[in-house]
Structure 1
């Protein structure tokens, strides 16, 4: 049962902090200046004829 307790403590502290930092990084990346132009170009890819 010690393994479960250790994993639980890790998940409650460092894993949660890591996921929070990752989420903030994704949000900053998505809303950075200049990303709208790139997102519009990527959104048009399925509509382009090859």
Structure 2
């Protein structure tokens, strides 16, 4: 049972920090300069003719 408690404590503390860092990274990646053009290009892929 001690292993469960240790893993639960780790997930409650460092797991939250990790998820927050990932969230901030995804937001920054999405809002980076040039992302609008990359998204527009990706949106046109299904419409391109072979």
Structure 1 gap ranges (5+): none
Give the corresponding residue for 1:5: 5
Corresponding pairs, count: 50
Give the corresponding residue for 1:30: 30
**Shift in Å, 1:45:** 0.4
C-alpha distance in structure 1 between counterparts of 2:5 and 2:16, whole Å: 16
Give the corresponding residue for 2:46: 46
- The CA deviation string for residues 4-37 of structure 1, in whole angstroms up to 9 with x for no partner, is 1011101111111011001100000001111000
Secondary structure of residue in 2 paired with 1:49: coil
Point out 4+ residue stretches in structure 1 off by more than 2 angstroms: none
